[in-house]
Amino acid sequence: MTQPVIGIFGGTFNPVHIGHVRAAIEVAEALELAGVEFVPAACPPHKNGEGLLDFALRLDLCRAAVAGLAGFSVNPLEADRPGPSYTCDTLAALAAARPGERFCFIMGMGDLLGLGCWKNGFGLGRLADLAVHSRQGQGIETFCAFLTDNGPAMGATPTPDPAVWTLPDGHILHFVAVARLDISASDIRRRWRAGNRLNGLVSESVLAKLLTHTDALQAGWDRPLSA
C-alpha cells in the first residue's frame, strides 16, 4: 500500500488569498495528497518585518481560508520557534515530531528558482518530497532548465517523465501545472491602502476577519512595501 503523503504549504500569507488556496487544492488533487497543512512563517527570513501582519492574525486568517475544506488544516508550528522561519528547520521539526509520516513541501516556481539563496535550500529534497507549481510564463521548460543546472546539487535525477525527478532517500520532486490566478498579497495590500474592495481576491471568511482588524491592517500595511 502506498504511504499517504501530507502536503506542507509554507509562506508568509500576508494575507492568505484565493490564489494560495486554489494552488494548494490543485497540487493536492494532482498528487493525490492525503491532506494539506498551511504553515505560516512566524519570522520570514527574507522579509524585514515591515508591513507584516502579526503572526497570530495571519494564522487566524489561514484557518478561515481553509475552513470547510476536507483534508486542509493550519499548523501553528512556527508559533513557538525562535529565530527566522527557515523551511529546512520546519521540515526537520515535522519529521522529528511525527516519525513515520511522509511530507511533500509545496512551493511556487519562483521559490524553486531562488532555492540557492535559502538556508540549505538544495537540501530540502533530503527532508521531504517537493512539489513545484507553475506560474505564468514559467512552466515545465523553466522547471527542467533549473534542474539541468542545479539538479546535481540537489541530488535530483531525471526520470522518463520530465515532470518527475527522484531525490535522495526515496523522495520525489514533482512539477504540477496549475491554473494561474493573477493575485498577489502585495497587490492586495496596495488595493487596501488605496481603499479598494478586496472581494474576489480573498475568501469572504478571510475578508470578514480583515474588516474586524482594521487597526492591525493600518499598523501593518499602511506603508509602501516591496512584494
Q: Tell me: the pLDDT tens digits for 156-193? A: 999 999 999 999 999 999 999 998 888 999 999 999 99
Buried b (16+ CB within 10 A) or exposed e, 126-150: bbbbbbbbbbeebeeebbbebbeeb
What is the CATH number assigned to the segment(s) 5-219? 3.40.50.620
The pLDDT, as a whole number, for residue 1 is 55
Report the distance separating Cα 162 and Cα 198, nearest Å.
Answer: 38
Q: What is the pLDDT of residues 197-208, one digit of tens each?
A: 999 999 999 999
Return the domain boundaries, the chain: 5-219
pLDDT tens for each residue of 33-68: 999 999 999 999 876 556 899 999 999 999 999 999
Query: Cα–Cα distance between 106 and 110 in angstroms, integer?
Result: 12
Cell of 93: 521539526
Q: Where are the alpha helices (DSSP H) in the chain?
A: 18-31, 55-66, 87-97, 109-113, 140-154, 185-193, 204-211, 214-221
pLDDT higher than threshold 50 for residue 224: no
CB atoms within 10 A of CB 52: 17
User: Which percentage of the chain shows pLDDT scores above 90?
Assistant: 82
Q: State the burial class of residue 10 (Cβ atoms within 10 Å of its Cβ: 0-12, 13-18, 19+).
A: buried
Q: Which amino acid is at 184?
A: S
Distance CA 181, CA 34 (A): 24
Spatial distance between the Cα atoms of 45 and 85, rounded to a whole number of angstroms:
6
pLDDT tens-place string over residues 113-152 = 999 999 999 999 999 999 999 876 689 999 999 999 999 9
Q: Looking at residue 182, what is its pLDDT?
A: 86
What's this model's pTM, rounded to 2 decimal places? 0.93
